[in-house]
Amino acid sequence: MNFRPKKIYGTAKREVCPFCQNIATTKNKQGIPTCQSDKEKSLDNLKCACGEYLYVMEGKFGSYFNCPRCGNINFNKGLNMNGLL
């Protein structure tokens, strides 16, 4: 029998700053989780794999991207497509 390890409070989800890869503690004006030093920066002109621009959205479970052609895209997947993460 395999048992799952005990859940530890606060380790389930850790947001990472897309600019410097530190732990994100605040959000910038776009709603993207960032660290305190990168709070004024913003993500602009990100493109999807299809060539359309990605729009940053904020939902119940965090930030994500929206492509007019492809639909909703995971935040980390959108950053990987643009080489930022």
Strands (E), the chain: 26-27, 33-34, 55-59, 62-67, 71-74
How many angstroms from the chain centroid is the CA of residue 14? 11
pLDDT of residue 10: 65
Is the pLDDT score of 64 beyond 90? Answer: yes
Mean pLDDT of the chain: 88
pLDDT at residue number 65: 94
11: pLDDT strictly greater than 70: no
Which residue in 63, 49, 54 sits closest to 16, CA to CA? 63
Tens digits of residue pLDDT in 17-33? 988 989 999 999 988 89
Label residue 48 exposed, middle or buried (CB < 10 Å: 0-12, 13-18, 19+): buried
Rounded to two decimals, the pTM is: 0.76
Find the radius of gyration of the CA atoms of the chain. Answer: 15
